[in-house]
Amino acid sequence: MKKILDNNYYDLIINNVSVPLYDEGDNITPLNIRHSLLNVPVGNADPCNLGKYPYYNFPSLYTPTSTVSHEKSGMGAVQRNPYLNLNGRGIIVGVIDTGIDYQHHTFLFNDGTSRILSLWDQSVQDGTPPEHFTYGTEYSRDLINLALASDNPLSIVPSNDADGHGTAIASIIAGAPEEEQFFSGIVPFAELVVVKLKEAKKNLKDLFFVPDGISCYQETDLMMGITYLLSIAQKANRPLAICIAMGSSQGAHDGNGALSNYLNYLVRLPGYGIAVSAGNQGNVRRHYYNSTQQEPFTNRFELRIGEKDSMFSMEIWPSALGRLSIDINTPNRESTKLIRPGLGECRRFKFVFTPSVLWVNNMSFEEESGDQLILLRFQNAMPGIWSFNVQSMEKEPLAFHSWLPAGSLISDDTFFLNSNPGTTINSPGNGSHQLTVTAYNQFNDSILTEASRGYSRNNFVKPDISAPGHQIPCALPGNRFGTLTGTGAATAHATGAIAMILEWGIPRGNYTTLSGNVINSLITRGARRQSSIIYPNNIWGYGMLDVNELFQRLTNI
């Protein structure tokens, strides 16, 4: 078995300058110009392997970020304008998600052939991988068309979307009009390139204490998916609009993770536009923040652990002048005593009066960010109120954020008692250059309560834009239709807008060097803003997506 698929090997992200140190046999897989993937033996699968290898080497875990109105975002006016009529002609839309129901008629031309240029299913290992990749199976449009013409399509192209999230996202962007369902994608003449993500490796899930049966996806597979999209767009010599409706609460929330950095680089190149979702962590109470500026420079906070969440991880990221120590108390008042920061240390605490086991990595500095990180991992966690006492070892002012996992990695029964909805933008939405999209209810112009709030931990303005995200009509597997709500749905909406702008700029010849960075500026400048609100802000960003206003401003240049 290839190491990239073998659960006996960790997938580690390394900087390319380090590749010569490890480049032996099949240990290295290039990810992009900056990073590569290194496979190393798992060994005894000890949770303290996170300590033996730095935190930033391990890919973050990602989950989907979603659970009608084109007019609200100005799409209809642009498409009805005979001088614009932007419907995605000549544009490739790239979707990296849970897959696609390629048999759904919303993804077909009128003659019954597929509008999908290419599909890379990372989870199917029986076929031929894409060129320069070592896993998964690539299905060309010709092969998909052959499958569509057969009596048993899945016998030829055995790729599906059991979750339905990827199908819904792709349809919101580029689904064909369906009058009976009152449905149309934003750019129904665009063509699709789809990456179906494989499940994260079990060893990575085990390392971050993800319970069995929970689906999630690893950062490196998203990065490879992006590289694949680029390769298809470059071969076709066509502009590319990428939608990432996935998010993670892991990391420093400062936009410096491997995936965020990759997107920051790409969005400054001509021909690529990228939209990423802000996440849906605004009302689930999974973020805590404290700033203590007076003696005794300590802070005590509490976490309620629900009965469903016996296994999970939690991260504390200080922004302190000095180092922080921590002691942790179970609901029945057993204590770990003081845990001081160290280098590469991982401590295991087994309690007397509860079966709970706790692993603590109090890292003096996390190598990628340079900041201290306190990583807590719970096993057989006792339900009830746990308390955490954080204190400055140097008796100086302290400040820190703490985040719980995103999405379905824990239940809503586990939350901070004094939570803070701010600084909950998921990665990679906290990166500086990619367009980060939040969601509002287009029927009453109110922000979705679940939409994540900004800013980033280092005070980048995030989100950038808000788009319709409440009960957006979409396609579902099995030739069905439904609705999608959340910032993932809003991100699909914004990706459609990006495709329209790319079409105006490059195939139409109005701005042939158009980059994602310029597109983002056009979108934020043309946003619809309410007079009673100060912009930008950490809830709405620069305002509501308004593509018609964007083009009105362009005509006045």
Asked if residue 319 and residue 297 are part of one domain, the reply reads yes
Q: How far is residue 155's CA from residue 137's CA, in Å, rounded to a whole number? A: 14
Asked if residue 311 and residue 221 are part of one domain, the reply reads no
Using H for helix, E for strand and C for coil, what is the string for 43-105?
CCCCCCHHHHECHHHCCCEEEECCCCCCHHHCHHHHHHCCCCCCCCCCCEEEEEECCCCCCCH
CATH number at residue 547: 3.40.50.200
Asked if residue 342 and residue 471 are part of one domain, the reply reads no
> What type of residue sits at position 453?
R
**Residue among 173, 225, 226 at smallest CA distance from 198:** 225
Asked if residue 452 and residue 411 are part of one domain, the reply reads no
CATH number at residue 402: 2.60.120.1290
Asked if residue 221 and residue 99 are part of one domain, the reply reads yes
By the 8 A CB rule, do 403 and 286 touch?
A: yes
Strand ranges (DSSP E) for 265-397?
A: 272-277, 287-292, 298-305, 312-318, 324-329, 347-350, 357-363, 373-379, 384-392
Predicted pLDDT of residue 545: 97
Predicted pLDDT of residue 76: 60
Question: Does residue 226 belong to any structural domain of this protein?
Answer: yes
Asked if residue 351 and residue 477 are part of one domain, the reply reads no
> What type of residue sits at position 484?
L
Decide which of 416, 441, 458 is a domain's last residue. Answer: 416
Bridge partners (DSSP) listed for residue 476:
480
Question: Does residue 196 belong to any structural domain of this protein?
Answer: yes
**Residue among 94, 114, 167 at smallest CA distance from 480:** 167
Q: How far is residue 26's CA from residue 48's CA, in Å, rounded to a whole number? A: 25
In a structure prediction context, what are the per-residue pLDDT tens digits for the chain, which is 557 residues long? Answer: 689 999 999 999 999 988 888 887 789 999 998 999 999 999 888 899 998 899 999 999 999 998 733 445 555 655 666 656 789 899 999 999 999 999 999 999 999 999 999 999 999 999 999 999 999 999 999 999 999 999 999 999 999 999 999 999 999 999 998 877 778 899 999 999 999 999 999 999 999 999 999 999 999 999 999 999 999 999 999 999 999 999 999 999 999 899 999 999 999 999 999 999 999 999 999 999 999 999 999 999 999 999 999 999 999 999 867 799 999 999 999 999 999 999 888 999 999 999 999 999 999 988 888 899 999 999 999 999 999 999 999 999 999 999 999 999 999 999 999 999 999 999 999 998 999 999 999 999 999 999 999 999 989 999 999 999 999 999 999 999 999 999 999 999 999 999 999 999 999 999 999 999 999 999 999 999 999 999 999 999 999 999 988 888 877 65
Residues in CB range of 142: below 8 A, 6 or more apart = none
Predicted pLDDT of residue 281: 96
Where in the sequence is the domain holding 321, given as residue range(s)? 287-416
Question: Does residue 43 belong to any structural domain of this protein?
Answer: no
Predicted pLDDT of residue 551: 86
Asked if residue 224 and residue 100 are part of one domain, the reply reads yes
Asked if residue 250 and residue 163 are part of one domain, the reply reads yes
Residues in the chain: 557
**Residue among 255, 267, 257 at smallest CA distance from 226:** 267
Predicted pLDDT of residue 407: 94
Question: Does residue 34 belong to any structural domain of this protein?
Answer: no
Asked if residue 332 and residue 250 are part of one domain, the reply reads no
By the 8 A CB rule, do 186 and 87 touch?
A: no
Number of domains present in the structure of the chain? 2
Question: Does residue 368 belong to any structural domain of this protein?
Answer: yes
Predicted pLDDT of residue 122: 98
Asked if residue 240 and residue 146 are part of one domain, the reply reads yes
Lookup result for tokens 């834009």:
465
Bridge partners (DSSP) listed for residue 464:
none
Q: How far is residue 277's CA from residue 463's CA, in Å, rounded to a whole number? A: 9
Q: How far is residue 399's CA from residue 175's CA, in Å, rounded to a whole number? A: 46
Decide which of 384, 416, 448 is a domain's last residue. Answer: 416
Helix (H), strand (E) at residue 521: helix 516-525
Question: Does residue 29 belong to any structural domain of this protein?
Answer: no
**Beta pairing, strands 240-244 & 357-363:** unpaired
Predicted pLDDT of residue 86: 85
Helix (H), strand (E) at residue 400: strand 398-403
Predicted pLDDT of residue 71: 45
Question: Does residue 233 belong to any structural domain of this protein?
Answer: yes
Asked if residue 453 and residue 404 are part of one domain, the reply reads no
Question: Does residue 356 belong to any structural domain of this protein?
Answer: yes
Handedness of CA 146, 147, 151, 152 (dihedral sign): positive
Asked if residue 451 and residue 357 are part of one domain, the reply reads no
Instruction: Enter the DSSP assignment of 449.
Output: T
Where b means 16+ CB within 10 Å and e means fewer, 260-296 reads bbbbbebbeeebbbbbbbbbbbbbbbbbbbbebeeee
